[in-house]
Structure 1
Amino acid sequence: MAEHIDRSESQRSLDLITLGRAGIDLYGEQIGGRLEDMASFAKYVGGSPTNTAVGGARLGLNTALITRVGHDHFGHFLIEELAREGVETSGMIVDPDRLTALAVLGIRDPDTFPLIFFRENCADMALTAEDIDPALIARARALLVNGTHLSQPGVFAASLKAAELMKAQGGQVVFDIDYRPVLWGLASKANGEDRFVASGRVTQELQRILPLCDLIVGTEEEIHILGGTTDTVAALRAIRARTTALLVCKRGAEGCVAFPGGVPDSLDDGVVGRGFPIEVFNVLGAGDAFMAGFLRGWLRDLPLETCCELANACGALVVSRHGCAPAMASWDELQVFLAGTWPHRLRDSAELEQLHWSSNRHLDHDDLTVLAIDHRSQFEDLIAELGVGDAKAVAHFKNLALKAVDRMAKGDRRYGLLLDGRFGARALEAAADLPYWIGRPIEEPGSRPIAFEGSPDVAATLREWPINHVVKCLVFYHPDDDAEMRARQDRQILRLFDACRTTRHEFLLEIIASKHGPVDSDTIARVIDHVYGLGVYPDWWKLEPTSDPQAWAASQAAILRHDPRCRGIVLLGLSAPQEEILAGIAAAAPFSLVKGFAVGRTIFQDVAARWLRQEIDDDGAVQQLTANLRVLADGWRAARDSRAAA
């Protein structure tokens, strides 16, 4: 029996509910070859109405999804990822008897995109009329249904019930024709990419929904199947004879054309929305983005010409990127695109790529208190100094540190850890089930110029890391270093930044300048300016504490000048006494980009020594680590509250 999950995320009014396909897209990462020759795949949210729900949320619409997913890892991922995207998931039903749908896709060339659907008895096709919650429908202005969910009696009944409820309350019904012949049994299972097979049966089934529709969107091939003829004008007129809905025909690079009334003899006599002449890298997902953009305008009562422009721009941005849902544009990104002039190959624009990345990240952290226990050489030195302990003991102690954070945080996402993969691997694995922020070092301890742990290809190392691990890199960098040292460090920072974006990991850059030269009010700001000048945009900065307000003002101004969307700054500790750390926190707290701290040895050094000498047991170590962390966390929150009050 399917399980309704109570996720009362918000009782906000909804602009749009989408209904239908929800699954996993496994996108081949090798471009230009056969699907048979692709060796690795990226996992994304998939399914046409699901992609549109994500696209609409990124554009500022309040969206929700009605579907079923399996009680499996992929189903859990869809629920979690959609919630992170801002899509309400209360209408998603967990089906214990079926698996989440799956699609495997590749990019062969600009015209060929091999696609295999794994949808035999999948969860979303088991949606029934009984699954439709009238209370959820009542909260929304519009409902989006699609053609795939008219292909079987059960999902047809669910779509029809939802549409009738929406019409009965005065809402609007949107129909995405979404024709996939293979999902109607009209093409070989290996030919998921086929876009058109004529079928009177399909035409008849699709037309049953037309009297309920207020907006119908499709490609020319989809207009053909809905209208029952391969003459586009004749097909549009056949559709018009059955509905007064606004008709929108997507025409790829030529843009689109809309027909609010009668259908003229030529498509060009409709309301034409200009296309964008850009390189097509991946056409899959373009229609879903188009729908999201059109609805962003249509549901905000913008002129039809504007709706078409928004839709075409969203489609253009998606066809320039890998993936469907993750390629959807944010509202800010869309505005910048429409206002600018861009290269034919859009993904060559560093400005657009940075804006896409920074405006679509999940889970903002306005408050972050981190126990930094990613130290490696320091633990080796401590073992050598004390003459007790070994690597296993260090690994065990790092697990105790995780327990200390969890004991204090009790699930509070404002807490986190910095953990390494050398001694902290087991703790990292245990942290996977907890909600805390996780950072992980990539640098060889003490290296200058910076060197990386793991493979000579740093991206190969990062591909083995879970996606929620923030890549932390400590660089001993002074702006007055000699030219050769700066050049070598710059090359490594650039390599790492590129690897992080390639593997979709966030990047924390830690700068320590004081070890290699004098530091004044603008030293760190000069380093920050230089890093941005390289084309590197850290998601986070980790900076040395200072009591100099001019230094903090200069650092914050430098970051905001280059990247106003930067997640923020956390303070490092440099093993200073607790009182000095608290003073540093108080000095930094007035600056809005400072989000908290990531402090290590001040919290754990003495505790680790006592534990290794067996002066305290495991529980005593956890208690003391918790107490030390609490002092700094309370100090930070008191300082932050003073900032808010001021």
Structure 2
Amino acid sequence: MMDVTAIGELLVDLTARTTGTDGYPVLEAHPGGAPCNFLAALSRFGARTALIAKVGDDTFGHLLEQTAAGCGIDTRNVLIDPDVFTTLAFVTLDSTGDRKFAFARKPGADTCLRWEEIDQQLLGESRFVHFGSLSLTNEPARDATRRAIAYSKEHGALITFDPNLRPPLWADLEEAKEQMLYGLAQADIVKISEEEVRFLFDLDEVAGARHILEQFGVSLVFVTLGADGCYYANAQAQGKVPGFVMNTVDTTGAGDIFGGSALSQVLRLGKHPKDLTGEELEQVVRFACASAALSTTVFGGIPSVPSPEAVAELLATR
């Protein structure tokens, strides 16, 4: 039995660290992609994980598959396609470490995943199946993802969803909203940012979380607030955990690492998300906030996942 299987993008983040003498950015390559960042955190904290993804038959594609496997992620359904290039994300950082994205993805390998290429047995043997909105931007990956989620639900898996809005990847933001709302309607657990709540519903984090619980049948909602922490809610409790002040250099992947870290603690508790008490949820969110905060002190997504010892130390000292 797999604890968590994720479907979606496995890509390279090309981060602008400095500027060359000719005025152009000098790029540093890091392994990433939201679903793999999410799984890397889960694996670091003891979960059994698997990734369903597609990369190109190129240097970056092979490196990414090796990196995912090195994190302890089962890569049996990471496909290497000779006909497309591995997707690239270009990341620019401001003075606070916050990031903006541009993508080389016309098409990227991740958008070319087909339902027929997905290991259905892997989905059927997973306790949780995770996806994000980047899997819904283009065909055939959109159809593959929707069919994978339907199959997983039919076979008893709980679904986690991250809207993960990236405007440059959508020709029409109304279509983005439509696909994100589809994702919410499938999910048992949602990790969503306050910006995405405003984009979808024009609500704050408290009203937005309540709306998602009541209107979409979601069991547990995490609304991340950046450096300010996270608001959480289920049928039993709601509350806010403040963030941890760190020497931030790069926020890439912090939300994904929050999500994977939080789910690792939900798995540890062994209860359905709707049944977690307020005390349990506060512990889950404090752990995830600490993990995400630590990740912002290191460049990249997957490379920034902290160790269990580092998270425990931060929690003990703050």
SS in structure 2 of the partner of residue 89 of structure 1: strand
Are residues 210 and 28 of structure 1, via their aligned partners in 2, closer, same or farther at CA, if it must alter by over 3 Å? closer
Query: Separation in 1 of the partners of 2:243 and 2:298?
Result: 17
Shift of 1:245: 2.6
The aligned counterpart of 2:6 is 18
2:305 paired with 1:328: yes
> What is the aligned counterpart of 1:134 among 120, 123, 126?
120
- Computing the radius of gyration from Cα coordinates, the structure with the larger value is 1
8 Å CA contact retained: 2:5, 2:49 = yes
The aligned counterpart of 1:63 is 49
Shift of 1:90: 0.5
The aligned counterpart of 1:169 is 155
> What is the aligned counterpart of 1:144 among 127, 130, 134?
130
> What is the aligned counterpart of 1:254 among 228, 232, 235?
228
Query: Separation in 1 of the partners of 2:21 and 2:99?
Result: 9
Give a deviation string over 1:504-539, Cα, whole Å, max 9, x none. Answer: xxxxxxxxxxxxxxxxxxxxxxxxxxxxxxxxxxxx
2:108 paired with 1:125: no
8 Å CA contact retained: 1:25, 1:44 = yes
Query: Separation in 1 of the partners of 2:23 and 2:102?
Result: 12
Query: Separation in 2 of the partners of 1:258 and 1:251?
Result: 11
Are residues 144 and 35 of structure 1, via their aligned partners in 2, closer, same or farther at CA, if it must alter by over 3 Å? farther
The aligned counterpart of 1:298 is 266
> What is the aligned counterpart of 1:219 among 193, 211, 220?
193
> What is the aligned counterpart of 1:245 among 219, 232, 236?
219
8 Å CA contact retained: 2:97, 2:249 = no
Give a deviation string over 1:475-522, Cα, whole Å, max 9, x none. Answer: xxxxxxxxxxxxxxxxxxxxxxxxxxxxxxxxxxxxxxxxxxxxxxxx
Query: Separation in 2 of the partners of 1:242 and 1:283?
Result: 29
Letter in 1 for 2:227: A
8 Å CA contact retained: 2:55, 2:61 = yes
Shift of 1:232: 4.3
> What is the aligned counterpart of 2:146 among 140, 147, 160?
160
Q: How does 1:20-35 map to 2 (within 5 A)?
A: 20-30=8-18
8 Å CA contact retained: 1:132, 1:161 = no
Query: Separation in 2 of the partners of 1:175 and 1:204?
Result: 14
Query: Separation in 2 of the partners of 1:25 and 1:202?
Result: 22
Shift of 1:271: 2.2
Q: CA RMSD in A?
A: 2.3
Query: Separation in 1 of the partners of 2:6 and 2:133?
Result: 12
Are residues 305 and 230 of structure 1, via their aligned partners in 2, closer, same or farther at CA, if it must alter by over 3 Å? closer
SS in structure 1 of the partner of residue 37 of structure 2: helix
8 Å CA contact retained: 2:209, 2:233 = no
8 Å CA contact retained: 2:188, 2:219 = yes
Query: Separation in 1 of the partners of 2:295 and 2:21?
Result: 22
The aligned counterpart of 1:567 is none
Query: Separation in 2 of the partners of 1:126 and 1:307?
Result: 35
Task: Provide the identity percentage.
Answer: 29
Structure with the bigger RCO (C-alpha within 8 Å, sep 6+) is 2
Are residues 61 and 164 of structure 1, via their aligned partners in 2, closer, same or farther at CA, if it must alter by over 3 Å? same
Give a deviation string over 1:277-319, Cα, whole Å, max 9, x none. Answer: 2232212211011111111111222721111011101110011
Are residues 20 and 308 of structure 1, via their aligned partners in 2, closer, same or farther at CA, if it must alter by over 3 Å? same
Q: TM-score, normalised by structure 2?
A: 0.89
The aligned counterpart of 1:363 is none
2:256 paired with 1:270: no
The aligned counterpart of 1:388 is none
Query: Separation in 2 of the partners of 1:217 and 1:59?
Result: 18
Query: Separation in 2 of the partners of 1:202 and 1:114?
Result: 18
Are residues 35 and 115 of structure 1, via their aligned partners in 2, closer, same or farther at CA, if it must alter by over 3 Å? farther
Gaps in structure 2 of 5+ consecutive residues: 271-279
Give a deviation string over 1:570-606, Cα, whole Å, max 9, x none. Answer: xxxxxxxxxxxxxxxxxxxxxxxxxxxxxxxxxxxxx
Larger proportion of strand: 2
Letter in 2 for 1:301: L
Letter in 1 for 2:265: G
Query: Separation in 2 of the partners of 1:61 and 1:123?
Result: 27
Query: Separation in 2 of the partners of 1:34 and 1:185?
Result: 35
Query: Separation in 2 of the partners of 1:246 and 1:284?
Result: 24
Shift of 1:237: 4.3
The aligned counterpart of 1:205 is 179
8 Å CA contact retained: 1:35, 1:106 = no
Give a deviation string over 1:249-301, Cα, whole Å, max 9, x none. Answer: 00112210111039xxxxxx932223112232212211011111111111222
Q: How does 1:412-423 map to 2 (within 5 A)?
A: none
Q: How does 1:569-608 map to 2 (within 5 A)?
A: none
Shift of 1:17: 0.9
Are residues 335 and 236 of structure 1, via their aligned partners in 2, closer, same or farther at CA, if it must alter by over 3 Å? closer
8 Å CA contact retained: 1:57, 1:86 = yes
Letter in 2 for 1:64: A
Shift of 1:332: 2.4
Query: Separation in 1 of the partners of 2:22 and 2:36?
Result: 24
SS in structure 2 of the partner of residue 276 of structure 1: coil
The aligned counterpart of 1:560 is none
Give a deviation string over 1:75-123, Cα, whole Å, max 9, x none. Answer: 1111111111111100111111100001122333106534321111110
SS in structure 1 of the partner of residue 73 of structure 2: coil
Give a deviation string over 1:378-397, Cα, whole Å, max 9, x none. Answer: xxxxxxxxxxxxxxxxxxxx
8 Å CA contact retained: 2:163, 2:183 = no
Letter in 2 for 1:171: A
SS in structure 2 of the partner of residue 298 of structure 1: helix
The aligned counterpart of 1:38 is 25
Gaps in structure 1 of 5+ consecutive residues: 1-12, 187-198, 263-268, 342-646
The aligned counterpart of 2:201 is 228
Query: Separation in 1 of the partners of 2:151 and 2:268?
Result: 22
8 Å CA contact retained: 2:210, 2:233 = no
The aligned counterpart of 1:107 is 93
Query: Separation in 1 of the partners of 2:177 and 2:216?
Result: 12
Query: Separation in 2 of the partners of 1:184 and 1:252?
Result: 23
SS in structure 2 of the partner of residue 156 of structure 1: helix
SS in structure 2 of the partner of residue 90 of structure 1: strand
Give a deviation string over 1:604-644, Cα, whole Å, max 9, x none. Answer: xxxxxxxxxxxxxxxxxxxxxxxxxxxxxxxxxxxxxxxxx
Letter in 2 for 1:139: E
The aligned counterpart of 1:540 is none
8 Å CA contact retained: 1:35, 1:114 = no
